[in-house]
Structure 1
Amino acid sequence: MNRFCKSTFSLLLATLLLFSAAGISFGMVLQSTHAYAVGPSVETPAPAPDEEDQQETSGQDEQEKPQETEQPEEQPPVWNPKDQTINIMGEEKKTEKKELIPEQAIPEKDKSDSALTINPPKSENNTSAGEEEDSISDDNNDSPIIEGHVSAVLLNGIDLTENMIRIGEKGKLELALSLSGITLEQYESYQKTIKFSGRNFVPDEPIEPSFLSHTEQNGVLICTVSVEDVLYNGISDKIEFSLLFSDGSGSSISLDFSQTIRTEAASENYEIKSAIFTNSENNIISRITRGNYANLIVTIHDYGISASKFNSVKNKTSVSINTDVFRTSNASISNGTGLKGGGVSYDITFSDVYFSGKDNNLQLIIDYDDPDITKRRLVHTLSQCQIYEPEPDDNDNYPDDDDDHDSSSSKPDIPPPTPNIIVSTYDYGGGNVTAAGNFTLTMTLMNTSKRVNVDNVVMKLSVPEAFTLTSSSNTFYIERIAKRSSVERTVNLSVKPNADAISHPIKVSFTYESVINDERKQFSAEQDISIPVSQLDRFSLNPVEMPSEIYVGEDSSIEATFVNKGKSTVYNVTAEITGNLSQPGQRQFIGNVESGKEESADFLIGALEAGTISGEVVISYEDANMNVNELRSPFTTTAVSFEMPAPDPGLDVMNPDDIGEAPPEPWYQKIPAWGWTTGGVTAIILLSFAAKAMRRHRELKLLEDSDEDF
Structure 2
Amino acid sequence: MKNIRKSYKKLVGGALILLMMVSVFCVPFTSIAFAAGNISFTKNLPSEPQTLSGGSLVLSVEAKAADGAAIRYEWYKDGAAISGATSATYTVSTPGEYSVKAINQSNEGDFAESQTCTVTEPQSGNGQLYVAGYSVVDNLGNPILYLTPETHCKIVFLMVDGRVLDSDVPQGTDLKSYIHITPTSKAFSSCSNGDIWLDREASVDGSLTYSLTFNDITYLDTTAQDNTLSFDVSVINNSTPGAPIANLPLTSVSQSIGQCSKSKDETVTSGAKPTVMVKDSNYGGGNIAAGQNFTLTLTSYNTSRSTAISDVVTTITLPQTLTLAAGSNTVLTESVPAGGSYQTTFTLQAQSSAETGVANVTVEYRYYIKGTDEQLTSSQLITVPIVQPDRFSFTSMDLPQEMYAGEENTITVNYVNKGKGILYNLTAEISGNINTPGQQQYLGNLNSGTEGSADFTIQTDQPGTVSGTITLTYEDVNGNEKKQTQDYSLTVSEMPTYDDMPDMDMDAMGDMDMQQGMPVWGWVLIGVGVVAVIVVVVVIVKKKKAKRRAELLAEDNDDEDF
Do these two structures clear the TM 0.5 threshold for a shared fold by scoring above it? no
Kindly name which structure, 1 or 2, has the bigger radius of gyration based on alpha carbons.
Answer: 1
Q: TM-score, normalised by structure 2?
A: 0.41
More strand by share: 2
Q: TM-score, normalised by structure 1?
A: 0.33
